[in-house]
Amino acid sequence: MAHAFVLFLLFSYIISTHIHACKQTERSSLLSFASTLSSSPLNWTSIDCCRWKGITCDQDGWVTRLLLPSKGLKGGISPFSLANLTHLNLSHNSLYGSLETQFFLSLNQLEILDLSYNHLSGELPLSLPSSSIRTVDLSSNHFFGAIPSSFFQQASNLTSFNVNNNTFTGQLDFSSNLFNGDLAPGLGKCSELQVFRASHNNLSGLLPEDIYNATKLEEIALPFNSLHGAISDKIVNLTNLAILDLSFNHFGASFLSIWGSSPS
Ligand SMILES: *[C@@H]1O[C@H](CO)[C@@H](O)[C@H](O)[C@H]1NC(C)=O
Ligand SMILES: *[C@@H]1O[C@H](CO)[C@@H](O)[C@H](O)[C@H]1NC(C)=O
Ligand SMILES: *[C@@H]1O[C@H](CO)[C@@H](O)[C@H](O)[C@H]1NC(C)=O
Ligand SMILES: *[C@@H]1O[C@H](CO)[C@@H](O)[C@H](O)[C@H]1NC(C)=O
Ligand SMILES: *[C@@H]1O[C@H](CO)[C@@H](O)[C@H](O)[C@H]1NC(C)=O
Ligand SMILES: *[C@@H]1O[C@H](CO)[C@@H](O)[C@H](O)[C@H]1NC(C)=O
Ligand SMILES: *[C@@H]1O[C@H](CO)[C@@H](O)[C@H](O)[C@H]1NC(C)=O
Ligand SMILES: CC(=O)N[C@H]1CO[C@H](CO)[C@@H](O)[C@@H]1O
């Protein structure tokens, strides 16, 4: 009986020390992320990285969340490898640098990505990190260039995409696909997309045709750009659309008449 009790204690000890103990590879990935910060209030020193500020692990010690919004992080952002990460929130810090394609390559379980309110720049990588991605907020940074149509290639579960207040330029054109040359699998692939915001950029050209295929859209907000042309009648198929904000663009009378005669 006493032996059984001692064994029980021993097992509980082994289980409790293992249940949250972080994988050493995860610990090194986190340390490599922290090492590129020039100023960091993080006190990431103890052995078990699952107990570090901002970190959540699953029961096997894989890091699933890295949540460090408004933590005064300063410095460059570089690719790190956390294969089980589902939530990444580094919003409202002072991170700079560009999102290289490698940044995303090893985050293929990612569901929520919030890098808003930083100083990130450069062009967007060719595609979103994972087919599980649901929410992307890259607003209020210094990203520029075009949003590649291939960006949405895997994004069949994307519900919210916010790139307000950057400097994206050029055509809002999702028609040329960089991966396979097919026509138009940009936004049209995003069958779950509910919110699409890209105000205060430098988008010009027409609305992409395949936006009308994202029939779950509830909000399209693209004010303060240089879009022009007309809205297609296909917009009647966006039956969930409650907010369509295209103000402060270059839409002419043709647009206004369609808007004006819209039944809803
Ligand atoms: C940093 O963490 C260690 C171990 O968790 C702790 O002993 C120490 O007090 C912490 N230092 C600061 C400045 O919070
Ligand atoms: C990121 O964290 C901030 C601060 O807690 C929060 O307001 C924001 O909603 C989070 N982003 C996402 C996408 O959950
Ligand atoms: C998309 O979402 C559905 C419902 O939440 C889920 O069952 C499916 O696994 C998700 N697809 C991917 C690729 O994550
Ligand atoms: C736009 O982004 C810049 C840079 O991140 C930020 O300082 C500014 O507050 C943002 N403006 C708005 C209206 O969010
Ligand atoms: C906006 O786009 C126009 C051409 O489409 C370009 O001439 C101008 O430099 C761009 N502005 C910024 C701030 O990138
Ligand atoms: C939109 O969907 C229709 C039918 O569902 C399809 O035939 C068409 O190719 C799609 N268009 C785009 C631009 O994805
Ligand atoms: C709306 O969608 C239906 C069903 O996919 C299609 O038959 C119809 O042509 C679409 N209407 C417009 C204006 O695109
Ligand atoms: C639950 C889960 O997805 N676990 C995965 C975490 O990452 C490792 C390394 O890639 C995988 O082997 C696990 O299956």
Residue 140 CB–ligand 4 contact under 6 Å: yes
User: Does residue 53 sit within a domain?
Assistant: yes
Q: How does pLDDT run across 37-73, given as a tens digit for each residue? A: 887 688 899 999 999 999 999 999 999 999 999 999 9
Lowest mean pLDDT segment, chosen from 5-9, 79-83, 109-113, 196-200: 5-9
Residues 160 and 175 in one domain: no
Residue 178 CB neighbours (<10 A)? 12
Q: Specify the pLDDT at position 180.
A: 42
Residues 156 and 191 in one domain: no
Whether residue 81 contacts residue 29, with contact meaning beta carbons closer than 8 Å, is answered with yes
Residue 62 CB–ligand 8 contact under 6 Å: yes
User: Does residue 2 sit within a domain?
Assistant: no
The β-bridge partners of 169 are 202
Q: Which atom of ligand 3 is nearest to the CA of 132?
A: 14
- Reference 53, options 38, 36, 70; nearest CA is 70
User: Does residue 5 sit within a domain?
Assistant: no
Among residues 149, 166, 183, the one where a domain terminates is 166
Among residues 115, 132, 166, the one where a domain terminates is 166
Looking up residue 196, the CATH number of its domain turns out to be 3.80.10.10
Whether residue 88 contacts residue 110, with contact meaning beta carbons closer than 8 Å, is answered with yes
Q: Which pTM does this prediction carry?
A: 0.86
Residue 37 CB neighbours (<10 A)? 20
Residue 53 CB–ligand 1 contact under 6 Å: no
Ligand whose nearest atom lies closest to the CA of 41: 1
Residue 80 CB neighbours (<10 A)? 21
| Burial of 96: CB neighbours in 10 Å, binned 0-12, 13-18, 19+ | middle
Q: Specify the pLDDT at position 183.
A: 40
User: Does residue 259 sit within a domain?
Assistant: yes
Q: How does pLDDT run across 126-158, given as a tens digit for each residue? A: 888 888 999 999 999 999 988 887 888 888 899
| Sequence-distant (≥ 6) Cβ neighbours of residue 154 within 8 angstroms | 127, 128, 130, 131, 133
Residues 41 and 162 in one domain: yes
**Between residues 131 and 1, the one the model is more confident about:** 131
Q: Which two tokens stand for residue 31?
A: 């340390």
Average pLDDT over residues 89-101: 92
Q: Which two tokens stand for residue 40?
A: 């960091």
Residues 162 and 117 in one domain: yes
Q: Specify the pLDDT at position 3.
A: 64
How many domains is the chain partitioned into structurally?
A: 2
**Between residues 17 and 206, the one the model is more confident about:** 206
**Between residues 169 and 244, the one the model is more confident about:** 244
| Mutation to probe ligand 3, out of 110, 157, 159, 193 (largest number of atoms < 8 A from CB) | 157
Minimal-distance CA residue to ligand 7 atom 5: 237
What is the whole-number distance in angstroms between the Cα of residue 133 and the centre of ligand 3? 9
Q: Specify the pLDDT at position 260.
A: 37
Q: How far apart, in whole angstroms, are the C-alpha atoms of residue 195 and residue 85? A: 23
Q: Which atom of ligand 5 is nearest to the CA of 170?
A: 5
Ligand whose nearest atom lies closest to the CA of 166: 4
Rounded to a whole number, what is the distance in angstroms from the first to the last CA of the chain?
Answer: 76
Distances (CA, A) of 12 to 9, 18, 62: 5, 10, 20
Residue 165 CB–ligand 4 contact under 6 Å: yes
Residue entry with tokens 């340390």: 31
Residues 24 and 152 in one domain: yes
Minimal-distance CA residue to ligand 7 atom 12: 234
Q: Which atom of ligand 4 is nearest to the CA of 141?
A: 5
User: Does residue 105 sit within a domain?
Assistant: yes
Residue 121 CB–ligand 5 contact under 6 Å: no
Residues 145 and 185 in one domain: no
Residue 239 CB–ligand 7 contact under 6 Å: no
Q: Helix or strand or coil: residue 54?
A: coil
**DSSP assignment of 58-76, as one string?**
-TTS-EEEEE-TTS--EEE
Residues 253 and 140 in one domain: no
Residues 77 and 30 in one domain: yes
Residues 177 and 153 in one domain: no
Is residue 256's pLDDT more than 50? Answer: no
Residues 63 and 97 in one domain: yes
What is the whole-number distance in angstroms between the Cα of residue 238 and the centre of ligand 7? 10
pLDDT band at 6 (very low <50, low <70, confident <90, very high): low
Residues 147 and 32 in one domain: yes
Q: How does pLDDT run across 151-186, given as a tens digit for each residue? A: 888 888 999 999 999 998 876 755 444 444 444 457
Residue 227 CB neighbours (<10 A)? 21
Among residues 166, 184, 202, the one where a domain terminates is 166
Residues 107 and 175 in one domain: no
Minimal-distance CA residue to ligand 4 atom 3: 140
User: Does residue 90 sit within a domain?
Assistant: yes
User: Where in the sequence is the domain holding 259, given as residue range(s)?
Assistant: 169-264
Q: Which two tokens stand for residue 136?
A: 């992307």
| Mutation to probe ligand 2, out of 71, 73, 88, 89 (largest number of atoms < 8 A from CB) | 89
User: Does residue 11 sit within a domain?
Assistant: no
**Sheet of strand 55-57: strand arrangement:** 55-57, 63-67, 87-89, 112-114, 135-137, 160-162, 195-197, 219-221, 243-245
User: Does residue 10 sit within a domain?
Assistant: no
The β-bridge partners of 74 are 39, 94
Q: How does pLDDT run across 210-239, given as a tens digit for each residue? A: 888 899 999 999 999 998 887 888 999 999
